[in-house]
């Protein structure tokens, strides 16, 4: 989405294909209303990211000065929110007015329960990088 602003107000919104093909974009948007790209999906994601990652808060002194740390915190908030935070719109009704809360990872079939942050942090990962051996020179 490219927003044209005048006097701090959005006056025009243009959609541009950045990654992939038009066919892939059309397939991804089949569930959207009238296959029109809407900024609400992008802005909701950005708002949630800013809420969970203080390095992305606007107008503060907590901004990132180091790209690697910024990137690491971005991945941390993204992945931990997928496993640890329930989403109201993903809940499943199990009885009248009784719901089972679900996370995005549960909805995708990657896990069967809501993870605590401690459980998520302590879970062994096979893709973690190992530190190089310490050598004294």
* Whether the Cβ atoms of residue 66 and residue 81 lie closer than 8 Å to each other: no
Q: Domain containing 78: what range?
A: 64-125
The half-sphere exposure of 10 on its side-chain side, counting CA atoms within 13 A, is 7
For residue range 58-69, list pLDDT tens digits in order: 677 777 778 888
Q: How far apart are CA 87 and CA 45, in angstroms?
A: 13
Please state the pTM of the whole predicted model: 0.54
What's the structural domain count of the chain?
1
Residue 43 lies in a domain: no
Residue 133 lies in a domain: no
Asked whether the predicted pLDDT for residue 31 surpasses 70, the reply is no
Q: What is the pLDDT of residue 96?
A: 92
Q: What is the pLDDT of residue 98?
A: 93
Q: What is the pLDDT of residue 2?
A: 78
* SS3 per-residue string spanning 62-131: CCCCCHHHHHHHHHHHHHHHHHHCCCHHHCEEEECCEEECCCHHHHCCCCCCCCCHHHHHHCCCCCCCCC
Please choose, from the candidates 65, 107, 72, 70, the residue with its C-alpha nearest in 3D space to the C-alpha of residue 88. 107
For residue range 34-75, list pLDDT tens digits in order: 555 556 656 667 777 777 777 777 677 777 778 888 888 888
Average pLDDT estimate for 74-86: 85
Residue 82 lies in a domain: yes
Asked whether the predicted pLDDT for residue 1 surpasses 80, the reply is no
Residue 5 lies in a domain: no
3-state class (DSSP) for residue 3: strand
Q: What is the pLDDT of residue 114?
A: 92
């Amino acid at each position: 989405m490219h927003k044209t602003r005048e006097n701090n107000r959005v006056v025009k919104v243009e959609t541009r294909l950045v990654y992939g093909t038009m066919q892939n974009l059309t397939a991804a948007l089949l569930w959207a209303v009238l296959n029109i790209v809407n900024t609400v999906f992008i802005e909701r994601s950005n708002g949630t990211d800013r809420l969970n990652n203080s390095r992305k808060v606007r107008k503060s002194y907590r901004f990132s000065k180091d790209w690697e740390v910024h990137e690491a915190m971005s991945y941390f908030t993204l992945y931990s929110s997928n496993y640890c935070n329930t989403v109201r719109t993903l809940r499943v009704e199990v009885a009248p007015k009784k719901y089972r809360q679900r996370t995005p990872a549960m909805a995708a079939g990657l896990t069967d329960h809501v993870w605590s942050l401690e459980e998520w942090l302590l879970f062994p990962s096979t893709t973690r990088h190992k530190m190089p051996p310490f050598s004294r020179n």
